[in-house]
Amino acid sequence: MTQLSTVPGDLSRLTTLVRSNDLEETKEIISNAYSPYELRCLGDAREFHAWYAESGFPGITVSGLQYGSPQLHAETLIRPQALDSYLLMCEVTHGRVTVSRPGREECSVEPGGTYVLDPYSGFQVHWSPGARMTTVRLERETMEQAAADSLGLDRPVRARFALGPSVSPQAARSWSGISQAVHREVLGDGIARQNPLVATHLTQATAAVLIQTQRLITPGVDPQRTGAVAHPAVRRAMALAQERADEPLTLADLAVAARVSPRALQEAFRCHLDTTPLGYLRDVRLDRAHQDLQTASRDGSAGVSDVAYRWGFANLGRFAASYRDRYGHPPSTTLNS
């Protein structure tokens, strides 16, 4: 199992909701925070202890959770009901947990290891004394849309995940990177707390990375991840290019709008449109320049250089060459027609 620490920052900065030696109090508070669950102390009940804390920004909640103490012997067993409205990406930071879906699958997770709990079925987790984890919580609708995007569908898809680690060491590193960014935003009072646009982009990017790095078992999804990006990502990038063609857009801007990585977006454009994202943007700008030159030919409102600069073509020679390739004649011919 590839193990990468993804928890930068001080977990004491999370808001503590429970720190208790009382089983019933803990059960009530955490049931309200997660979902109703069975909680048992496997050993001397006087050794039971629980800590739970959380914080986040719109779209994502980061939590810290610990049961028992490493200096004592009591283990803990929890059996939550299905999470229903959200998904949890869990990382063990101390001790060991064994997570299972009764009668189906089971995995043991040590520090640095991760696993996903999807919203659709119950599960149980056996905690060693003092085991601790952090979780990243994403809404069910967000994950189902990310799954649909990965399949090229226009309707949400149930995002089911196998228990266990990422699909590859490279995927584990990718998840580690986005997880660190999320934890820094939460534990370091990042701008996602105050800026809804940043929060939305980071939430969508987190969901997209999770879909591509974990073992998705939804029927029709390739668990080996071929890397192909579905056409909704292309449509989102195309829409941004159309809407803001007069702005200095970059490949990174288009990728953020598409909710995929720049490299994945380039591959998608080559697959679906036989061009690149920036090539498509250039063509949109050429079309707008062509329209402006046609207007200027009637009312004399602008020259070739005015139109070229308006649509981001700083090099007039290159603009003229691209225009000729697309329309079969130089821009001056359109202007003087």
pLDDT at 28: 92
Task: Report d(CA 276, CA 246) in Å as an integer.
Answer: 18
Domain with CATH 1.10.10.60 in the chain: 227-337
Contact, 152 vs 220, CB < 8 A? Answer: no
DSSP-assigned beta bridge partners for residue 62? 55, 136
* Closest C-alpha to 285, from 237, 247, 334: 247
Task: Report d(CA 278, CA 18) in Å as an integer.
Answer: 51
User: First vs last Cα of the chain: how many Å apart?
Assistant: 68
Task: Report d(CA 242, CA 282) in Å as an integer.
Answer: 11
pLDDT at 15: 93
Q: Give me 57's structure tokens.
A: 């920004």
pLDDT at 259: 84
Q: Name residues of the chain where pLDDT drops below 70.
A: 1-9, 103, 151-154, 218-230
pLDDT at 222: 46
Q: Give me 303's structure tokens.
A: 């020259």
The per-residue pLDDT for range 45-58, each reduced to its tens digit, is 999 999 999 999 99
Its pTM stands at: 0.66
Task: Report d(CA 196, CA 209) in Å as an integer.
Answer: 20
The per-residue pLDDT for range 269-291, each reduced to its tens digit, is 888 888 899 999 999 999 999 98
Domain with CATH 2.60.120.10 in the chain: 11-213
pLDDT at 134: 95
Helix (H, G, I), strand (E, B) or coil at 5: coil
Contact, 179 vs 131, CB < 8 A? Answer: no
The domain over range 227-337 is classified in CATH as 3.40.718.10? no
Task: Report d(CA 133, CA 114) in Å as an integer.
Answer: 9
Helix (H, G, I), strand (E, B) or coil at 310: helix
Q: What are phi and psi of 23, to 5 degrees?
A: -60, -45
Contact, 259 vs 204, CB < 8 A? Answer: yes
Contact, 7 vs 37, CB < 8 A? Answer: no
Task: Report d(CA 10, CA 195) in Å as an integer.
Answer: 22
DSSP-assigned beta bridge partners for residue 245? none
In CATH terms, the fold of domain 11-213 is Jelly Rolls (2.60.120)
Contact, 4 vs 112, CB < 8 A? Answer: yes
Q: How many CB atoms lie within 10 A of CB 163?
A: 19
